[in-house]
Amino acid sequence: MPKPNTTYANVVNVRTTPTELVLDFGFEGASEPSQNPEPEVRVIMTVAATRRLGELLINAARQHEKELSQGQMPAEGNTK
């Protein structure tokens, strides 16, 4: 199985179709602010899959904040 590409993103835009959500991830540098940076990666997902992704992201953010508040460094690559 090939390794997935890794891309850093600090911008995300979401568009919808009748059956899917389109997530465009990109990078906006401090020296080059732009109203609409070009997406680096586009992910198209079903509504059900984006709901699950949303739950996973919320749980991961809560765990990360909890570890930081306890003075712990979050584990690298933690995918709980």
- Model confidence at 57: pLDDT above 90: yes
Tell me the per-residue pLDDT of 36-53, one tens digit each, with 9 for 90 and over: 677 889 999 999 999 999
User: In this predicted model, which residue has the larger pLDDT, 76 or 51?
Assistant: 51
User: In this predicted model, which residue has the larger pLDDT, 28 or 59?
Assistant: 59
pLDDT for the residue 36: 67
Secondary structure of residue 58 in the 3-state scheme: helix
Whose tokens are 């198209």? That residue is: 44
Q: Domain boundaries in the chain?
A: 11-69
Tell me the per-residue pLDDT of 13-39, one tens digit each, with 9 for 90 and over: 999 999 999 999 998 877 666 666 778
pLDDT for the residue 1: 85
